[in-house]
Amino acid sequence: MWIYGRNPVLEALREGGVRRVLVARGVERKFIKRLQAEGVEFELVPRIELDRLVRTTHHQGVVAEIADVRLAEPEAPLALARKRGEKPLLVLLDGVTDPRNYGAIIRSAEALGAHGVVSESRRSAPLSAVAVKASAGAAYHLPVVQVTNLPRYIEELKAGGVWVYGLAGEAVRTLEEADYDRPLALVIGSEGSGLRRLVRERCDELVAIPLRGRVGSLNAAVAAGIAIHWAQAARRG
């Protein structure tokens, strides 16, 4: 797998498992010195070679080949919550297929202290180089799970005492009114069709993000970030 961009590459170097680093000729000396100071071996190549390799010009002059980021086991998010001594907070994705949104949600979940991101393998973006880059390295630090059947996984969570809130624009109850003082999973649906019926029916409650502008919906990654932040702020309060 090839990843690109300075922060994702530097994060991958800290985590280990980088097989090869390519740097475009002409990259500012400051960045070269940083790599050298950290003992990173790299190869200088023409910038056009990086353009062709990752099929974009937005690589910031650095590309790294890494081993594929491994998906976590389904029980990993709850195990992380136990390790931290915290009430579980999971993010479940139902039909988020854009890898940039997927990566951005992983980034928000890790940064805001959630314990894992779970999606269904048939209805999710893969944990690709694009998603890893969009996560800004968060995919290395947070359990990222893909299950074969999301409704069944929700049932298993509920059997273990986890409450499940589905985000739905038409819900009567808002995020501000929900109870977060409990083990919790937040379900984010696709931007086009929202939550599937089988997923919706398994949620304990549906909650909405109150919108005050003329635009009637939010990007999935933005909605996820708001919901995670609200849950964590309510718990601290």
Domains of the chain: 2-66 (3.30.1330.30), 76-236 (3.40.1280.10)
Claim: this prediction has a pTM higher than 0.95: no
Helices (H), 94-137: 99-111, 129-134
d(CA 191, CA 170): 14
Copy the structure tokens of residue 95: 């039909």
Copy the structure tokens of residue 169: 């624009």
Copy the structure tokens of residue 150: 């999301």
Copy the structure tokens of residue 65: 């080949």
Classify residue 87 as exposed, middle or buried by CB count within 10 Å of its CB (0-12, 13-18, 19+).
middle
Q: Kindly give the parts of the chain with pLDDT less than 70.
A: 17, 237
- pLDDT score at 132: 86
Q: How many CB atoms lie within 10 A of CB 72?
A: 18
